[in-house]
């Protein structure tokens, strides 16, 4: 899922930039958790994500989820006696910093696998380095469709922008009876890809999108966009973006008297949405891979232990990175070198994660349920789950 910096460098451009970057540092100190180098054999798992800056809430929660998974795996003896060590780098949601981070993790830290706890832009940018180095990477919540097209060593633990955009369009029309939509989207890879999928599916199903506008990360005044929406007579507003801007859109819509349902993407799935938006977020419905109320033992244990360790409830980013590390650990049962981990990931089928049973298809995309969640009395409440192919 989820986000702020959408500029991307792909293909040869990314490789060229990577070669020009200084490997000695990433602009932020790294952190290491998990097994110390002692008598046990240790495999390093590299993590990169926005641990500082405007997107730090997502990055820190993502790192927390990965850290919890490593701690629990090691407490159970590791994987066939091999302990895990998490090495985390801060990319500040920047493509340049992500390149530095991944280059350091691969070349200096000698990690055996990577977890992307970052957004679509930075994750796409590092793909050429990952593929060239043949280090398997599990992408936790970046949804741009092109990410897994980067090569054989890249796997995605969340569904694509197309899947969740289509799912919300179908749900809004068939179950909520909504036909006419205003679409507001973050002007980055994440927002644009979801907006395109949602809009195409709405029109395919006979609906319309008379208003479609983009906004920048950090924007605070949405009155011009909402004023245009108010006069368009839409049935609902769909926002392909993140909790910071979504909370302000909800507040300002109420203030302007734009009293239509607000629907959202998985970028809404953070406690910050309700914290920032307050009562104006009541009734908001969004898609997410994580059902925190699911009665399965693996979910209940994750929610309980996360809250005990970090003194807050987990969100989607934490759940996704937790599953990403668990998927790598599952793959390590075939061997702990990079090739064995990549092979093990390719064989993943019906893995029970906290975000559902996960299988990887031939394109290295996760096949897992799409969850619909609604804000009800100031809490996230499960609405329904649909299967994906």
Angstrom distance (rounded) from CA 282 to CA 379: 9
The domain total for the chain is 2
Specify whether 230 is located in the same domain as 176.
yes
Task: Tell which of 268, 288, 308 closes a domain.
Answer: 288
> Strands 180-186 and 236-240, how do they pair?
parallel
Percent of the chain as helix, strand, coil, to the nearest 5 = 45, 20, 35
Q: Which residue has the tokens 């994440």?
A: 190
Specify whether 284 is located in the same domain as 227.
yes
Specify whether 21 is located in the same domain as 122.
yes
* Alpha-helical segments (H) within 175-315: 189-204, 223-230, 243-256, 271-277, 297-310
Angstrom distance (rounded) from CA 249 to CA 264: 11
Q: Would you say 57 and 299 are in contact if contact means Cβ atoms under 8 Å apart?
A: no
| Closest by Cα among 252, 201, 197, 203 to 230 | 252
- Domain annotation covers residue 306: yes
Specify whether 168 is located in the same domain as 283.
yes
The confidence score (pLDDT) of residue 31 equals 73
Burial grade of 15 (CB within 10 A; 0-12, 13-18, 19 or more): middle
Give the pair of three-digit tokens for residue 290. Answer: 């994580």
Specify whether 24 is located in the same domain as 72.
yes
The confidence score (pLDDT) of residue 25 equals 40
Give the pair of three-digit tokens for residue 68. Answer: 């919890």
Q: 297-310 vs 316-331: helix axis angle to the nearest 10?
A: 110
| Closest by Cα among 48, 66, 18, 155 to 109 | 48
- Domain annotation covers residue 380: no
Specify whether 93 is located in the same domain as 166.
no
pTM for this structure?
A: 0.88
Angstrom distance (rounded) from CA 386 to CA 58: 25
Specify whether 262 is located in the same domain as 304.
no
Query: pLDDT tens track of the chain, all 389 residues?
Result: 443 333 333 333 443 434 433 333 434 446 767 655 455 799 999 999 999 998 999 999 999 999 999 999 999 999 999 999 999 999 999 999 999 999 999 999 999 999 999 999 999 999 999 999 999 999 999 999 999 997 899 999 999 999 999 999 999 999 999 999 999 999 999 999 999 999 999 999 999 999 999 999 899 999 999 999 999 999 999 999 999 999 999 999 999 999 999 999 999 999 999 999 999 999 999 999 999 999 999 999 999 999 999 999 999 999 999 999 999 999 999 999 999 999 999 999 999 999 999 999 999 999 999 999 999 999 999 999 998 76
Angstrom distance (rounded) from CA 60 to CA 88: 10
Angstrom distance (rounded) from CA 1 to CA 119: 7
Q: Would you say 1 and 266 are in contact if contact means Cβ atoms under 8 Å apart?
A: yes
Specify whether 40 is located in the same domain as 133.
yes
Angstrom distance (rounded) from CA 298 to CA 342: 24
Range of the domain at 114: 11-159+296-369
CATH code assigned at 331: 3.40.50.2300
Name the 3-class secondary structure at 64: helix
Q: What is the DSSP string of 298-314?
A: HHHHHHHHHHHHHSS--
Task: Tell which of 225, 259, 288 closes a domain.
Answer: 288
Q: What is the DSSP string of 198-209?
A: HHHHHHHTT-EE
Q: Residues for the chain: how many in total? A: 389
How far does CA 374 lie from the centroid of its chain?
Answer: 19
- Domain annotation covers residue 137: yes
């Amino acid at each position: 899922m989820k986000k702020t910096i959408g500029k991307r460098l792909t293909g040869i451009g990314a490789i060229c930039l990577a070669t020009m970057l200084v490997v000695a540092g990433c602009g932020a100190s790294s952190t290491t958790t998990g097994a110390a180098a002692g008598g046990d054999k240790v495999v390093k798992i590299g993590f990169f994500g926005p641990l500082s800056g405007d997107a730090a809430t997502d990055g820190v929660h993502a790192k927390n989820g990965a850290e919890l998974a490593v701690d629990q795996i090691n407490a159970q003896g590791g994987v066939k006696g091999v302990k895990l060590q998490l090495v985390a780098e801060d990319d500040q949601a920047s493509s340049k910093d992500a390149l530095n981070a991944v280059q350091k993790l691969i070349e200096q830290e000698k990690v055996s696998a990577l977890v992307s706890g970052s957004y679509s832009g930075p994750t796409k940018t590092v793909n050429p380095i990952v593929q060239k180095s043949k280090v398997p990477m599990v992408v936790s919540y970046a949804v741009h469709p092109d990410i897994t097209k980067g090569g054989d060593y890249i796997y995605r633990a969340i569904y694509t922008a197309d899947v969740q955009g289509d799912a919300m369009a179908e749900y809004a029309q068939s179950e909520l009876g909504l036909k006419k939509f205003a679409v507001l989207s973050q002007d980055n890879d994440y927002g644009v890809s979801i907006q395109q999928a949602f809009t195409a599916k709405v029109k395919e199903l006979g609906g319309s999108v008379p208003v479609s506008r983009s906004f920048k990360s950090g924007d605070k005044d949405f009155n011009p966009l909402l004023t245009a929406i108010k006069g368009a007579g839409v049935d609902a507003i769909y926002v392909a973006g993140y909790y910071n801007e979504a909370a302000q859109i909800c507040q300002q819509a109420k203030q302007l008297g734009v009293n239509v349902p607000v629907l959202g993407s998985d970028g809404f799935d953070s406690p910050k949405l309700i914290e920032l938006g307050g009562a104006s977020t009541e009734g908001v419905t969004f898609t997410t891979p994580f059902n925190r109320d699911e009665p399965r033992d693996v979910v209940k244990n994750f929610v309980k232990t996360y809250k005990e360790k970090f003194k807050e409830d987990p969100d989607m980013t934490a759940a996704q990175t937790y599953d990403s590390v668990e998927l790598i650990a599952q793959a390590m049962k075939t061997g702990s070198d990079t090739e064995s981990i990549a092979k093990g990931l390719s064989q993943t089928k019906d893995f029970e994660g906290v975000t559902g049973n996960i299988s990887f298809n031939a394109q290295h995309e996760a096949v897992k349920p799409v969850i619909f969640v609604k804000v009800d009395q100031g809490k996230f409440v499960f609405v329904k789950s649909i299967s994906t192919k």
